[in-house]
Amino acid sequence: MKRSLKGTALIVALVLVAMVAFAGCGAPAAAPSESASAAAPSESASAAAPSEASAAGESAAASGDGVSVALLNASNANLWRAQMEDEMNALVEEYKADGKISNYVAYSANDDATTQSQQLSQIISAGGTDVVIINPVSATSLNPVIDKAIEAGIVVLGVDSVIGHPDVVTLATDQYKWAEMQAEFLAEKLGGKGDIIIYNGIAGVPASDTREKAFDDVIAKYPDINVLKKVYHNWDDGEAKKLTVTMISAYPNIDGILNQDCSPGIMQGFSEAGVDMPKVITSDGSFNYLNMWNDYNTKNPDKAFEAIIVGNPPGAGCDAIKMGIALANGKEFKDDVLTEMDGGKAVLLEPAPVITNENREEWVKKTDEMGDTYTFSKILTDEEIGAYFK
């Protein structure tokens, strides 16, 4: 039985916290109309005016009235980011009831860097916001506006993709390691040779670029692995399907797919073309893909393919809220928890869970009653968050 995304997001995240520990380790909001401000918040967000204390220049954190938080999401038009927002919304409601958060608003930039810059400028001008969490469209294009936000006393955090600003900390799965693990898996399962296609996300988006570099670095160590083509599916299953049909037409032999998510679309492309799956395919943390992979291998044991899922939890958005509140209340990071990278700083989370054919059926049973649109998630506990601070 499938459950609605918005009604179950927090439950799923909490259940998966337990599952990840055991293992060891919605429709998007509508874009602003043309008559509306390009920086208008998404419909699901609270857009209350700043409190009098905030308008007077005193932060909510300092006044004891709770912290005012804003999310700048690159886009909520894909399932991963939509789930991130839903999990954040659920945590915000809990924190509002506890008095930890006074106000919360979420914006979507529709993958446009200029729009995201305008949104941050609007937040600064309006005043009253203590913490801004940014899932960036670009690694550095926001830097001039981030300077102004920091000057205004706003805590700025990145989430998922590293922001290349020296005073911004990004909370993210270690995207290089995420991709490196998958590329090494593919190379091992192919015996170090074969013809592959590389599917990247969106060129220019930090997480996609970091993963692409890891793919390239690993594959460069295997001279007998031939990259037939590099493509970009923009983290869209429909685009991934179309690209796959095109790739199959162009290349009669494809041994492996090295991929940044959207594996369901890739599998649909092979099915539509009437072609068996390649020997190896990597990526995608959705339950839908897990079930498609399991169904294919169960029904076609003589054509079963090797695959790997490496988790990239959307719960990082909730982790960023918790860290932002701590920073707004005067906490400081321990010196040894931050990693200097790409012009910024990061708290890097270990990719988890890791699923292959060895533990695939176990995970299918664990996620049996959860909707196909969910992806594997985990939210750090308050104790885990506290361990990052002095």
Q: Mind listing the pLDDT tens digit of every residue in the chain (390 residues)?
A: 333 333 444 334 433 433 433 333 333 333 332 222 334 444 333 333 333 323 323 444 444 579 999 999 999 888 889 999 999 999 999 999 999 999 999 999 999 999 999 999 999 999 999 999 999 999 999 999 999 999 999 999 999 989 999 999 999 999 999 999 999 999 999 999 999 999 999 999 888 999 999 999 999 999 999 999 999 999 999 999 999 999 999 999 999 999 999 999 999 999 999 999 999 999 878 888 999 999 999 999 999 999 999 989 999 999 999 999 999 999 999 989 999 988 999 999 989 899 999 999 999 998 887 766 678 888 999 999 999 999
DSSP helix/strand/coil, 73? strand
Residue with tokens 């918005």: 6
Residues 347 and 51: their CA atoms lie apart, in Å, by 32
C-beta atoms surrounding 187 within 10 Å = 22
CA dist., res. 268 & res. 279, Å (int): 16
Give me the half-sphere count of Cα atoms (radius 13 Å) on the Cβ side of residue 359: 14
Q: Where are the alpha helices (DSSP H) in 43-174?
A: 52-55, 60-63, 79-98, 113-126, 143-151
Residue 353: asked if its preceding bond is cis (omega within 30°), the reply is yes
365 CB-near residues (< 8 Å, 6+ apart): none
Name 369's bridge partners.
none
Q: How far apart are CA 235 and CA 240, in angstroms?
A: 8
Burial, 225: exposed, middle or buried (Cβ in 10 Å; 0-12, 13-18, 19+)?
A: buried
Q: Quick one: which of 193, 185, 360 has its CA closest to 259?
A: 185
Determine contact, residues 377/83, Cβ cutoff 8 Å. yes
Closest to 333 (Cα-Cα) out of 110, 154, 125, 169: 169
Distance, CA of 110 to CA of 32 (rounded, Å): 10
The distance from CA 21 to its chain's CA centroid, rounded to whole angstroms, is 20
Q: Which amino acid is at 11?
A: I
Phi, psi of 339 (to 5 degrees): -110, 125
Contact of 17 with 316, CB cutoff 8 Å? no
CA angle, residues 278, 280, 284, in degrees to nearest 5: 110
Report the distance separating Cα 264 and Cα 284, nearest Å. 8
pLDDT at residue 368 in the model: 80
Count CB atoms within 10 A of the CB of residue 232: 20
pLDDT for 64 equals 59
Give the list of residues 6+ apart from residue 323 with CB closer than 8 angstroms, or none.
157, 169, 171, 347, 385, 388
- Alpha-carbon distance of 191 to 281, in angstroms, equals 14
The backbone torsions φ and ψ at residue 374, rounded to the nearest 5 degrees and listed phi first, read: -75, 150
Question: What is the Cα–Cα distance from 108 to 40, expressed in whole angstroms?
Answer: 8
Q: How many CB atoms lie within 10 A of CB 361?
A: 12
Residue listed under structure tokens 């074969």: 194
